[in-house]
A and B are shown apart, each in its own frame.
Chain A
Amino acid sequence: DGGITQSPKYLFRKEGQNVTLSCEQNLNHDAMYWYRQDPGQGLRLIYYSQIVNDFQKGDIAEGYSVSREKKESFPLTVTSAQKNPTAFYLCASSSRDSYGYTFGSGTRLTIV
């Protein structure tokens, strides 16, 4: 079945370390997105990519970086510059032929 796979489900890192969250899709979608979710704040867009080798900053890109070397993959790196990285991270994808986004199951990142 087609879908989006995010890994790992839970991630613990020490403060000051960079960490990379994985997102892979086999839906043949062109666009991919990263959202951050904090309690009571809904979803906030970090980065998005509409085609391979191109990506755009969202509303809260500071302290994050991404790459899009393959259509299927859109990894997110949380750098040490991100002041408060503990959150739930969601990856999504979409295409012009389908309305709405398809989401992965999320990665919960905890900085200890």
Chain B
Amino acid sequence: AQSVTQLGSHVSVSEGALVLLRCNYSSSVPPYLFWYVQYPNQGLQLLLKYTSAATLVKGINGFEAEFKKSETSFHLTKPSAHMSDAAEYFCAVNPYNNNDMRFGAGTRLTVKP
């Protein structure tokens, strides 16, 4: 069965610093992978998705993620953190693009001024 593991429930960075949020997946077939962002008391918004095309995926708000099959990873990065990036981030896997989306436990990103 597919699953995702997000390393680090809390990540804190300074404004302007690199953001790196880690996600490792387990899947028996080539996966579809996603990153979502959630602001307080709001729903999840899709940041980016990997659907077996280019391994480096660019998303909204300057975020990108790289699919590395050999490492079973899909880490999320942003070169320079902004205060507005403070939120919770969820990695998800859905190998068959069906009703079985599996979410990680989430990583809360704090951005310090």
Residues of A within 8 A of B (CB): 4, 6, 9, 31, 33, 40-43, 48, 50, 56, 88, 90, 92, 94, 96, 99-106, 108
The answer for the CA separation of A41 and B105 in the assembled complex, in Å, is 6
* Interface-centre pick from B41, B44, B103 (highest chain A CB count, 10 A): B44
Q: Is B82 an interface residue (CB 8 A)?
A: no
For chain B, the count of residues having a C-beta within 8 Å of the partner chain is: 22
Residues of B within 8 A of A (CB): 9, 32, 34, 36, 41-46, 49, 51, 90, 92, 94, 97, 99, 101, 103-106
Majority secondary structure of chain B interface residues (helix, strand, loop or mixed): loop
The answer for the CA separation of A108 and B40 in the assembled complex, in Å, is 11
7 additional contacts (CB under 8 A) given A42-B105, A99-B49, A103-B43: A42-B104, A48-B99, A56-B99, A92-B44, A99-B32, A99-B51, A108-B41
